[in-house]
Chain A
Amino acid sequence: MRRGFRFWGLVPAWVLMLGTLLIPLMIVAIVSVAQRGAYGGFEWAFTLEPYRQILFSVGWTDELEFDPKYLFVIGRTLVLAGATTLICMMLALPVAYVIATRTPRMKTVLIYLVTLPFWVSMIVRVYAWLIILGNDGFVGRIWHALGGQGTLLFTPGAMLVGMVYSYIPLMVLPVFAAIEKLDPALLEAGGDLYASRWTTARRVILPLTWPGLAAGSILVFVPALGTVLEPMLLGGGKQMMMGTLIQTQFGSARNWPFGAAIALVLMVMVVIVLVLNARRAMRKEARS
């Protein structure tokens, strides 16, 4: 009876995993080693051509030339996602600290405000930045008033602003949870033992909120790797990222196998991040 339940009870979960994760993943994997179709799609023939394409381009005389074009895309994606994560960390720490030290009522209100952006469509919110950063926008005007040249839009900076904005709630929430768990007496003990506020932050708050920062980093970094909207709207599509590259391949470029190959590379990167994080957590577990 129990044994039966243990098996049959898990069936819905297995169906869900199979249907939404494993089967689509298999399809992507298969497409990534298939032949490119003439008008999009793919043809059933095995080839490693899509993977070759990531590193080499074909010269005039059919010889392969090393071409770092797509490596740059991968690098740029990593840098942008990494920068987004770091900036989110630096902003989330003080924000979460301030929230965690308010009265219970105020805390509820502030946390609600942090999650509020999720109630509005992501596209609308990114468009809002398009306006804010634009030449007639609030920030754009200040930029010009301060003697800035050209437009703020369609630059890596604009993408970064948009990404930090989009993902920061995912950092604030776990960091807030970690700070809230801190015994306030520990912070007082820091001051009592002659640590300035800054030293207390560095030597007491930071190490003890590290688990929250790690969780927040995963939550920010992983989706930031695959981001599409910000590079498209705020980056003006000028700066190709992995997310936009994949989208173009399945869309206008009509090279499904290449898109699938890039998607798999992206996925491997995500898995590496998750495995590293899990190992770090396990080491920590083992130590205590």
Chain B
Amino acid sequence: MRRGEAVEVFNVSKMFGTYQALDQVSFTIKENEFFTLLGPSGCGKTTLLRMIAGFERPSEGSISLFGAEIASLPPHKRHVNTVFQSYALFPHMSLEQNIAFGLENLGWAKAKRQARVAEMLELVHMSDFAKRRPDQLSGGQRQRIALARALAPEPQVLLLDEPLSALDLKLRQAMRDELRALQRKTGITFVFVTHDQDEALDMSDRICVLGQGQIQQIGTPSDIYEEPQNRFVADFIGATNFLEAEVVSLNGDQAQIRTALGLEFTAAQKGVQGPGAATMSLRPEKIGLEEQASGNVFTGTIRSRNYMGGFTHYAVETAGITLQVSRRNALSHAESYDIGREVKLGFRDESVRVLGQ
């Protein structure tokens, strides 16, 4: 079954005075999808979300909702709802009244409204709090009510602007799972904005990485992590080692690479046009030490060690280059390597990504 297109953003640019916040952004979001806009602060995520909600107008381009152009409609004429970063609950209304607000404006009958409010309170486990006011709630509870209020009118698309950033760490993790479950249960298309890569990887069906007002890459979490298309994505998502390399020859999507380490190997590549200098990305956890070293193996010296619990991070120097290596502390006791020790290290050809030139 081909899923419908919930949101289509086409060639959207946004200028604030002479500052270009977004530059020719295009993507489509499928129905029922959990779609994440990920990028560093200031890259234009909120601006993009606000244009879908109707609080800002694109300087150029068009935005459609289920095939209907909406870029010029005011917010109250768009069937999308927003979970605001500050929650923006109405302080003078009880939680019930907050949730009913949208339904009243849509002209729902009283009985239907009350049933829906009760259903929403149930959904976010807040039924006992119906008569309270927002200032009598904790951050996590406010978050839930903001969600309930935005979901109540059965929006075609739900927009969430960094909804978890105001919560403490533990709550954030729990809310991630809850949000994801809620999205599955309601089947509503979610557009989720975050600058937190873990959140994005954990929750999304697809991620759109934004940087400097432009789309850097769109793909599933594993696409984005395993096959970053450019240096920006490889750098922003997860940790990585960048190595300067030279593409000797190209064969289909395989590139013959020569690195500064003096190694030659073939690697899958994306965005390499032809022979010449290139940057390659090698994730720290893809490099094996000692008995785990396989593929291209060489020796190096441990320069630093950071014990992180589940992992130990090493900096290993080899041929004048320092590589970050992440080693999982396995079930059985994993040996820890002291600073200054010589170790074998290695990586497989397929672990290397050659980034666009």
| B44 close to chain A: CB less than 8 A | no
Closest chain-A Cβ to B97's Cβ sits at a distance in Å of: 10
Q: List 30 A-B contacts (CB under 8 A).
A: A183-B86, A183-B88, A185-B84, A185-B85, A186-B88, A186-B90, A188-B55, A188-B84, A188-B88, A189-B82, A189-B84, A191-B54, A191-B55, A191-B75, A192-B53, A192-B54, A192-B80, A192-B81, A193-B76, A193-B81, A193-B149, A193-B153, A194-B102, A195-B101, A195-B105, A196-B105, A199-B105, A203-B101, A288-B133, A288-B135
B76:A191 contact, CB within 8 angstroms: yes
Find A196's partner among B53, B76, B91 (CB 8 Å cutoff). B76
- B90 near A189 with CB under 8 A, answer yes
Q: Are A194 and B153 in contact (CB under 8 A)?
A: yes
Residues of A within 8 A of B (CB): 183, 185-186, 188-189, 191-196, 199, 203-204, 207-208, 288
Q: A183 — which chain B residues lie within 8 A by C-beta?
A: 86, 88
Report the separation of the CA atoms of residues A20 and B74 in the bound assembly, to the nearest whole angstrom.
Answer: 57
Query: Which residues of chain B have C-beta atoms less than 8 A from A189's C-beta?
Result: 82, 84, 88-90
Contact assessment for A188 and B75 in the assembled complex, using a CB-CB cutoff below 8 Å: yes
Instruction: Please report the C-alpha to C-alpha distance between residue A208 and residue B92 in the assembled complex, in whole angstroms.
Output: 7
- B54 contacts across to A, CB distance below 8 A: 191-192
Within 8 A of A (CB), among B148-163: 149-150, 153
Q: Does B106 contact A (CB under 8 A)?
A: yes
| A146 vs chain B, min Cβ distance (A) | 36
Measured between beta carbons, the chain A residues less than 8 angstroms from B91 are 208
Q: Are A195 and B76 in contact (CB under 8 A)?
A: yes
Interfacial chain A residues near B86, Cβ < 8 Å: 183, 185
**6 nearest A-B residue pairs (beta carbon):** A193-B102, A191-B75, A194-B105, A185-B88, A189-B88, A207-B92
Contacts of B76 in A (CB 8 A): 191-196
Distance in angstroms between the alpha carbons of A183 and B76 in the assembled complex = 18
A186 neighbours in B (Cβ, 8 Å): 88, 90
B153 touches A191 (CB 8 A): no
How far does the alpha carbon of A192 sit from the alpha carbon of B86 in the complex, in Å? 14
Question: In the complex, what's the smallest C-beta–C-beta distance from B35 to chain A, in angstroms?
Answer: 19
CA distance A186 to B89 in the complex (A): 7
Do residues B84 and A191 form an inter-chain contact, with CB atoms below 8 A?
Answer: no
Number of chain B residues close to chain A: CB under 8 A: 26
Interface 1/0 per residue, B316-352 and A, CB below 8 Å: 0000000000000000000000000000000000000
Which residues on the B side are within 8 Å of A192 (C-beta)?
53-54, 75-76, 80-82, 102, 150
Chain A residues contacting B81 (CB-CB under 8 Å) are 192-193
Report how far A189 CA is from B106 CA in the complex, Å: 14
A188 to B53, CA, bound (A): 9
Chain B residues within an 8 Å CB radius of A193: 76, 81, 101-102, 105, 149, 153
A232 to chain B, nearest CB (A): 43
Residues of B contacting A199 with CB < 8 Å?
105
Complex-state Cα separation, A194 to B79, whole angstroms: 8
The chain A residue with its CB closest to the CB of B75 is A191
CB distance from B306 to the nearest CB of A (A): 40
Max chain B C-beta neighbours (<10 A), residue from A183, A189, A193, A207 = A193
Complex Cα spacing A288 to B132, Å: 11
- On chain A, the residues within 8 Å of B133 by CB distance are 288
Q: Mark B95-133, 1 if CB is under 8 A from A, else 0.
A: 000000110011000000000000000000000000001
Q: Give CA–CA (A248, B89) in the complex, Å.
A: 55
Inside 8 A of A207's CB, which chain B residues have their CB? 92
Residues of B within 8 A of A203 (CB): 101
Further pairs besides A188-B84, A194-B102: 15, Cβ < 8 Å: A185-B85, A186-B88, A186-B90, A188-B53, A189-B89, A192-B82, A193-B81, A193-B149, A193-B153, A194-B105, A194-B153, A196-B76, A203-B101, A207-B92, A288-B135
Instruction: Give CA–CA (A196, B102) in the complex, Å.
Output: 11
Enumerate B48-95 residues with CB–CB distance to A below 8 Å: 53-55, 74-76, 80-82, 84-86, 88-92
Q: Which residue of chain B has its CB nearest to the CB of A195?
A: B105
Give bound CA distance, A221 to B149, whole Å: 40
CA distance A188 to B84 in the complex (A): 9
Contacts of A191 in B (CB 8 A): 54-55, 74-76
Residues in A with CB closer than 8 Å to B89 are 189
Instruction: Please determine whether B53 and A204 come into contact, CB atoms closer than 8 angstroms.
Output: no
Chain B CB within 10 Å, residue with most, of A185, A194, A195: A194
| Chain B positions within 8 Å of A185 at CB level | 84-86, 88
Residue of A whose beta carbon sits closest to that of B161 = A185
Complex alpha-carbon distance, A203 and B149, angstroms: 16
Output the nearest chain B residue to A185 by Cβ-Cβ distance.
B88
Nearest CB in chain B: distance from A121 CB, A: 41
In the assembled complex, the Cα of A207 lies from the Cα of B94 at a distance in Å of 13
Contacts of B92 in A (CB 8 A): 207-208
A178: min CB distance to chain B, Å: 12
Q: How far is the CA of A53 from the CA of B217 in the complex (A)?
A: 88
A90-B353 Cα distance, complex, nearest whole Å: 65
State A189–B88 Cα separation when bound (angstroms).
Answer: 7
Query: In the assembled complex, how far is the CB of residue B331 from the closest CB belonging to chain A, in whole angstroms?
Result: 48
Among A188, A189, A195, A288, chain B packs the most CB atoms within 10 A around the CB of: A189
B105 to chain A, nearest CB (A): 4
**Across-interface contacts of B74 in A (CB, < 8 A):** 191
Complex: A189 Cα to B86 Cα, angstroms: 11
Q: Find the A residue at minimum CB distance from B106.
A: A194
B-chain residues with CB within 8 Å of residue A208 when the two chains form the complex: 91-92
Contact of A204 with B135 in the complex, beta carbons under 8 Å: no
A196 to B107, CA, bound (A): 13
A207 to B82, CA, bound (A): 22
Q: Within the assembled complex, what's the spacing in Å between the Cα atoms of A222 and B161?
A: 47
Which residues of chain A are within 8 angstroms of B80 by Cβ–Cβ distance? 192
- Cα distance, A288 to B85, chains bound together (Å): 24
Q: How far is the CA of A288 from the CA of B91 in the complex (A)?
A: 11
Task: Return chain B residues, CB-CB under 8 Å to A194.
Answer: 76, 102, 105-106, 153
